[in-house]
Structure 1
């Protein structure tokens, strides 16, 4: 009888723990730093998760805050670790094991300084050429959201390339691009943070600068983008984990979807849904072996959610 009671008690405890673990997986907490590419991929993931019966949540936060929130168990998933550009942000968390990199979701990306083509053709093709033309740039460089320009700020702090006296203008991705558009129209000189995938590469005539390898990495900050999770998340929520470790994007797809946000004004979830309706073929690989939250066929559920 004593053994039976103990077994029953253990079974009850395990049942409660299993229920709590399942409940914790019902909501998938994500964040992105306000970059359109990551807003899009997070919107795509949110759309798929909704179709599977989960409740996705997404916040816009600075990269350091995203990582601290993951360590504090306030966020689960981050789809936007750009390697090597974000190495300085991630190193401590990788070394401690508090945040896990679980999947490469994009290759062929790049991330470094750029200038309008007319500036490039005037002789500014390398980081070292900036200081020679400081007066034409008003000794200013344009970044995006505060918390996302640490490499740029580090260049100034270290007086790299003689840029120690320059000012970093922080605003937002949209604010920076509006300034680029204005300067390009007036043929005023500007140096700014640029990356691909992004519609800016077709919207503007721009050129990436060489010479920034020590800060942004080789090949114009050539990067891969990875999915990261808080420690232990894949074990706690294996079905969501299977999905996010199978979601792989590509440059043309992301650039198209980012255009829906920047040019058509769609919010990221609507842009993600439109992109998946246009390219439903991505769903087959992403949802292979993935079920709904309640154990149903994942692919059928997401297709139905999208009206396919």
Structure 2
């Protein structure tokens, strides 16, 4: 039985029917057919993918820091960035064979000389990014009044006859052991870890006590404390070096914009130290990179915008 109300209001019934038909037509036109661009389908990305960049890195504090920094910078520009950890030797092989695109921490002209000499025909050097000498040596607080390793014996008691070091297998520990022998130092080289060494430095610095440690640059310790290297007349710790950005020889052709940005990449000791400090304080390298970029956008713009 049809309700009487329908016959009393035919115009309303027709209007309802029209609305329903319009809704059905709208759904057919907007939504579910293959190849359509309906509201429930993903929209095209605002930034077109620009390709994949493979950055090789060694497990060193500064390399982890800058590799993650550039991963964040480049991904914001629409690139896909893959970070690949490797030892130095296979990293240079991969870079030369185009299995990797970039390496941001080549120590030249000394530490990585053999690899550079062997593979340089397949590589490009984008220059030095670290704006201080990269070096290793014996480090003391600025308030320590001696300035050379050969003065250490005269102040042995103030240093408690100890050089505070890191793990025994590190190259800097071998250099420190050689220096103790060559300079005739009546000191004991204390093995431990980087964390233990830094804890000892922090305590001594707070109390204004004398301490000598095995140090290297770049390192966040130079951003946090006022420190200096003791001069090394015998060159047991080698010469100062530069930290270079290397690329596969074809990378500039494939990614000219990125190559240009990396050639403008420069960091001061305070800047890289600040980035490393964020990681040392417990942030993930990627989160540290994001925070550092937010706080130093003008610096990043000088690389990416010329």
TM-score when normalising by structure 2: 0.64
What do residues 148-197 of structure 1 show as CA deviations (whole Å, max 9, x unaligned)?
A: x435524535843246996573634x44323422455674744221435x
Check if 1:204 corresponds to 2:229.
Answer: no
Check if 1:46 corresponds to 2:71.
Answer: yes
> CA 1:110/1:55 → structure 2, altered by over 3 Å: closer, same or farther?
same
Contact kept, 8 Å, 2:138 with 2:212, in 1: the verdict is: no
What do residues 45-87 of structure 1 show as CA deviations (whole Å, max 9, x unaligned)?
A: 0101111222323355554564455356554322223445xx1
Contact kept, 8 Å, 1:142 with 1:169, in 2: the verdict is: yes
What's the CA shift for 1:255?
3.3
| Equivalent in 264, 282, 296 of residue 299 of structure 2 | 282
Correspondence list, 1:84-123, <5 A: 87=110, 89-96=111-118, 97=120, 98-111=122-135, 112-117=137-142, 120-121=144-145, 123=146
- Structure with the bigger RCO (C-alpha within 8 Å, sep 6+) is 1
Check if 1:142 corresponds to 2:196.
Answer: no
> CA 1:73/1:142 → structure 2, altered by over 3 Å: closer, same or farther?
farther
What's the CA shift for 1:209?
0.5
Counterpart in the other structure of 2:10: none
Contact kept, 8 Å, 1:102 with 1:245, in 2: the verdict is: yes
Q: Which runs of 5+ in 1 are unaligned?
A: 1-22, 290-308
Check if 1:267 corresponds to 2:284.
Answer: yes
> CA 1:184/1:282 → structure 2, altered by over 3 Å: closer, same or farther?
closer
> CA 1:105/1:188 → structure 2, altered by over 3 Å: closer, same or farther?
closer
- 3-state SS of 2:131 partner: strand
For 2:153 and 2:90, locate their aligned partners in 1 and report how far apart those are by CA, in whole Å.
Answer: 33
Counterpart in the other structure of 2:183: 161
What do residues 234-256 of structure 1 show as CA deviations (whole Å, max 9, x unaligned)?
A: 34544432332232233343333
- 3-state SS of 1:260 partner: helix
How many aligned positions are there? Answer: 252
> CA 1:212/1:52 → structure 2, altered by over 3 Å: closer, same or farther?
farther
Counterpart in the other structure of 1:80: 105
- 3-state SS of 2:297 partner: coil
Contact kept, 8 Å, 2:162 with 2:189, in 1: the verdict is: yes
Larger radius of gyration: 2
Cα RMSD (Å) of the superposition?
3.9
What's the CA shift for 1:278?
2.4
